[in-house]
């Protein structure tokens, strides 16, 4: 129930205004968000790379309904990739980008989003790195996968994200694994009806395990996004059982969550990528992170009260 309430809060304009104007919010945000500018994102990327960690960068924002804004977000990504390349951070995908299709115009039309994503992919290819299309609300899943399938003809390393909370995802994993695609598997951070999503944490975990096995047994490149110690252990065991080399899959975690574990995995020789968001539109992202880990809510609320 708490998770559903938090996910509902992520879409509340009133709560957005309350939280984003609270003086104490910035200190909490800084724990999970790199900053507001591309320079901030590059600075954090530089620090993480120095620690032996891979990086994927997300310019925060979604559900764009203005074509000029979609073009501006696209240009932000192109410029960010250029900055990464200029500092030698993008070589061989060491730092890549994650793109929400709705931020670059998906709900304005699939052709608009595809053209904008194609621009970002072209910039990434020139810089020697990759692009991953983030998963969003259920209405965006199918058109996102269709765009990805179309663009892979020119950009075969274009990755996508699937959410274990959705009932369709195991079948999606089978299809994507068969084509050798880069696939990030996460639990999911959007509120969806029971008709399309699993309601209980247990069912989501079981779905994650099934999807994990499909991806690890396939010819693609699995990207396992989880902070769950048990699922991390299962991933390591599956890698041994399937004979996967350490460079044939990767772990992923969010910036600011379990940083010691991130470093531990990297120190074992595993590929460990940190998902780093930046930008001013951080409210929905932060609240969904609290929904994924409701224990963080008490810390957040205490911090707001103590600093007001």
Q: Which pLDDT belongs to residue 307? A: 42
| Average pLDDT value for residue range 90-116 | 97
Mean pLDDT of the residues in the chain: 89
Contact yes or no for 280/274 (Cβ under 8 A): no
Confirm whether pTM is higher than 0.85.
yes
Contact yes or no for 255/33 (Cβ under 8 A): yes
Contact yes or no for 278/35 (Cβ under 8 A): yes
Give the whole-angstrom CA distance, residue 78 versus residue 76: 6
pLDDT in tens, 123-147: 999 999 999 999 999 999 999 999 9
How many residues does this entry show for the chain?
Answer: 308
Give the whole-angstrom CA distance, residue 93 versus residue 118: 17
Q: Which pLDDT belongs to residue 232? A: 97
pLDDT in tens, 278-295: 998 777 777 666 666 555
At residue 296 the predicted structure's pLDDT band, cuts being 50, 70 and 90, is low
Does pLDDT of 299 surpass 50?
Answer: no
Q: Which pLDDT belongs to residue 250? A: 98
Over pLDDT 90: what percentage of the chain? 75
Q: Which pLDDT belongs to residue 10? A: 55
Q: What is the DSSP string of 271-288?
A: -EEEEEEESS--HHHHHH
Q: Which pLDDT belongs to residue 4? A: 61
| Average pLDDT value for residue range 207-213 | 98
Does pLDDT of 297 surpass 60?
Answer: no
Give the whole-angstrom CA distance, residue 206 versus residue 209: 5
Q: Which pLDDT belongs to residue 6? A: 52
| Average pLDDT value for residue range 142-163 | 97
Q: Which pLDDT belongs to residue 256? A: 86
Q: Which pLDDT belongs to residue 21? A: 59
| Average pLDDT value for residue range 234-238 | 96
Q: Which pLDDT belongs to residue 3? A: 56
Q: Which pLDDT belongs to residue 7? A: 54
Active-site residues, by number, are: 134, 184
pLDDT in tens, 57-85: 999 988 899 999 999 999 999 999 999 99
Does pLDDT of 99 surpass 90?
Answer: yes
User: Hey, which residues does 185 pair with through a beta bridge?
Assistant: 162, 224
Does pLDDT of 199 surpass 80?
Answer: yes
């Amino acid at each position: 129930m708490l998770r559903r309430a938090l996910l509902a809060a992520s879409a509340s304009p009133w709560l957005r205004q309350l939280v984003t104007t609270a003086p104490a919010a910035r200190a909490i945000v800084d724990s999970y968000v790199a900053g507001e500018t591309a320079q901030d994102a590059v600075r954090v990327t530089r620090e993480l790379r120095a620690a032996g960690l891979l990086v994927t960068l997300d310019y925060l924002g979604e559900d764009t309904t203005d074509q000029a804004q979609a073009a501006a977000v696209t240009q932000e990504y192109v410029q960010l990739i250029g900055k990464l390349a200029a500092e030698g951070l993008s070589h061989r995908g060491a730092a890549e980008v994650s793109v929400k299709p709705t931020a670059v115009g998906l709900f304005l039309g699939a052709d608009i989003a595809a053209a904008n994503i194609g621009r970002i992919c072209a910039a990434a290819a020139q810089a020697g790195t990759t692009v991953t299309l983030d998963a969003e609300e259920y209405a965006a899943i199918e058109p996102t996968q269709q765009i990805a399938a179309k663009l892979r003809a020119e950009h075969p390393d274009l990755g996508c994200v699937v959410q274990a909370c959705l009932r369709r995802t195991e079948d999606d994993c089978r299809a994507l694994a068969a084509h050798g695609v880069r696939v990030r598997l996460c639990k999911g951070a959007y509120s969806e009806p029971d008709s399309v999503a699993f309601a209980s944490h247990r069912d989501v975990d079981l779905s994650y395990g099934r999807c994990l096995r499909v991806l690890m047994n396939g010819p693609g490149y699995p990207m396992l996004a989880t902070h769950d110690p048990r699922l991390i252990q299962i991933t390591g065991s599956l890698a041994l059982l399937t004979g996967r080399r350490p460079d044939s899959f990767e772990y992923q975690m969010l910036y600011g969550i379990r940083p010691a574990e991130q470093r531990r995995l990297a120190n074992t020789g595993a590929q460990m990528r940190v998902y780093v968001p930046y930008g001013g539109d951080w409210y929905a992202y932060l609240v969904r992170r609290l929904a994924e880990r409701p224990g963080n809510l008490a810390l957040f609320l205490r911090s707001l009260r103590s600093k007001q």
